[in-house]
Structure 1
Amino acid sequence: MTMVILSRRNCGLSECTCTYMVAMAIAALMILIFNVTVHHVFGYHFTHSFFSYTGVCMLFKYMNSISLLMAVWFTVMFTFDRYVAICCERLKTKYCTVKTAAAVLMSITALVCLESIPFLFAYEPEKIIDNLQWGCRTKLIFFTSPLGVAFSWLHSIFVPWIPFSLMLLFNCLTIRRILFANKIRRAIRGRNIECQRDEEVESRRKSIILLFTISSSFILLWLTAAVSFLSTRITNISHYRGDFAAPAYIATEAGYMLMYLSSCTNVCIYAATQSKFRHELKEVLTFPWSYLLILVNRKEK
């Protein structure tokens, strides 16, 4: 629904911003499909099904990584796009276009797919029944090897520590620029009209709210998983051997839960901060009933 609403370009946002937001919504939908539904629902509750074949399981593990990376880096690029649009007047006209946004998103997707390739070799069958490989579990040889350890640390840096740092940097620079511009604008307009509504300042205020809520929501919901990964790596506790009461296991699973929850929050953020998005959402929700009412009235006539 979010993708449909943003694709209509009636929310008062630029086409470039809508392109990034649609991409973020697609990544969130992929997380809900692959990471939540397929992995945590079908994978655990439908054993010995199509999803339990080793090849299929490994493919979905690969897609899980891609979905998370896309959600992270699409959010980063959205933050950078807003920084360029607000803080870089010369670069804005060339960078903040739909064509550039599409090229950036396609490049990020290609890099993400390449970065996640090692996951295809990090798992092995859990068991073999009638010459069929079932399930997939992590290869201890892979994750304890120098290359496996290097990949794990590299993956943890790309998700989410570098994105955290970049988003905080771009947000701070963007908000500082907006506050400085508002201060200058108020000084130019004069004190005698401070009580009047300034549409430019109001637009900038909404930009700050949207940018800050999306970025801060992402950082807060991903923080548990990031800290959990670092702590388990530093203390060398990464395999629990079925001990589901271990604090490290509980922290890791809680981190995953919050990560997946972050894919559901953007719609709430759009609805809470954008009045035009709320109006479009209301139209989409009421359209089937309005159309049905029109058909009923025609038949009665």
Structure 2
Amino acid sequence: MHYSVIYQIRRIYYPALAAVGVLVNLVAIVILSRGKCGLSKCISRYLVGMAVTDLLVVTTDVILRGFGPIYFPPSFLDITPVCSFIIFLSAATAVVSVWFTVAFTFDRFVAICCEKLKTKYCTEKMAVVVQGTVSLLGTSVSVPWYFVYEPQYIIGNVPWYCEIKSSFRTSSVWFSFDMFHLILTPFIPFFLILLLNVLTVRRILVASRVRKGLRGSSNGENHKDPEMENRKKSIILLFSISGSFILLWMTQVVFYIYVRIAGTRYYSSNTDPVYITEHTSKILQLLSSCTNTCIYVLTQSKFREELKNAVKYPINLVAKLVKL
């Protein structure tokens, strides 16, 4: 049987992404939860929440929906109620994951640009409230996805596979829901993150010029500014996370805009450019669930130290057992 290039890529990509995604997100959760990375409790809470949702995205979208149907067809996962529930979980985890990134970006925006609000908003307690609210709302608005699909076959009174209901394409109610979900994720988050980063950069540049002017330098000597150094570390972390999100989601945002303008709903074949673009955008989008841990390693020296200690621990334990 002849398979398209994109299908063959998916057969290799999804298992590899699942293995890496589960490992790096579990490592991030354990290390960040210990609170020894030199980050505030508020930031740590957001980063742990993002790692948890990324792990859920890998579990639902990569494992259950990605390579599960490719390597194990048909299976229990293909029974219509199970299939519909997995699609609902996939949609919910994607919404929550994206909006956690928005919440973290907004928290850093407040910390840098809103001095009066900073002490009340940028706290661990508020981070828990925000994440709980986002999780509840993100899950609630995704519930209708469970009812979008119907059985493709019924064999022995058991409904198999998930096929989109014909009413989904003709009903104005379903059309409104589909548009609402597209606007909710990824359009609003995409542009909110862009806007907040632009405003944050603007604020940083202004504050930096003011502080340099006030501090000055006597006899041409340079003095380190501890506040600016701490702010610089926070900004590098923020821009790395939000920049990665924007780059990896950009293809999907552009694809969604094109599909809506062109009114494309069907593919002529698996070599159709639209088909290839859709799956390529999905591949890039799912990659965003694995990049944050790499960002922590590259930007946070204390995270690197904790990671080294975590790697050394089992090695030292085995060495001790061998000596015994």
Name 2:60's counterpart in structure 1. Answer: 34
Question: Structure 2 regions of 5+ residues with no counterpart?
Answer: 1-26
Any residues of structure 2 matched to 1:68-147 within 5 Å, and which?
68-147=94-173
Whether 2:185 is the aligned partner of 1:159: answer: yes
Q: The residue matched to 2:266 in structure 1 has which SS? A: coil
1:235 alignment partner in structure 2:
262
Cα deviations by residue, 1:135-158 (Å, 9 ceiling, x for unpaired): 112123213321121111111111
Residue in 1 that maps onto 2:280: 254
Q: Which is further off, 159-168 or 139-148?
A: 139-148
Contact kept in structure 1, 2:96 and 2:139, CA below 8 Å: no
Partner of 1:191: 217
Give 1:187 deviation, angstroms. Answer: 2.1
Amino acid of the structure 1 residue aligned with 2:230: S
Aligned length: 297
The 3-state SS of whatever aligns with 1:12 is coil
Distance 1:188 1:38 in 2: 57
**Secondary structure of the residue that 1:289 maps to in structure 2?**
helix
RMSD: 1.5
Label 1:195 to 1:296 Cα distance change in 2 as closer, same or farther (>3 A).
Answer: farther
**Are residue 281 (structure 1) and residue 307 (structure 2) matched?**
yes
Deviation at 1:181, TM superposition (A): 2.2
Hey, which bits of structure 1, 4+ residues long, moved more than 6 A? Answer: none
> How far is 1:108 from its partner?
0.6
- Could you tell me which residue of structure 1 aligns to residue 5 of structure 2? none
In 2, the alpha carbon distance for the partners of 1:267 and 1:179 equals 28
Which residue matches 1:271?
Answer: 297
Shift of the alpha carbon at 1:131?
1.1
The reply to whether residue 22 of structure 1 matches residue 48 of structure 2 is yes
**Residue identity matched to 2:244:** S
1:223 to 243, 250, 256: 250
In structure 1, stretches of 5+ residues that fail to align are none
Q: Given residue 221 of structure 1, which amino acid in structure 2 is its aligned partner?
A: L
Deviation of 1:203 (Å): 1.7
Aligned residue number for residue 93 of structure 2: 67
| Match 1:212 to one of 236, 239, 244 | 239
Task: Give, in angstroms, the shift of residue 129 of structure 1.
Answer: 1.0
Q: Distance in 1 between matches of 2:34 and 2:121?
A: 22
Compute the displacement of 1:194 (Å): 5.0
Contact 2:93 2:139 in 1 (8 A): no
Is contact 1:186-1:194 (8 Å) kept?
no
Alpha-carbon shift at residue 88 of structure 1 (Å) = 1.4
Identity %: 45
TM-score by length of 1: 0.94
User: TM-score, normalised on structure 2?
Assistant: 0.88
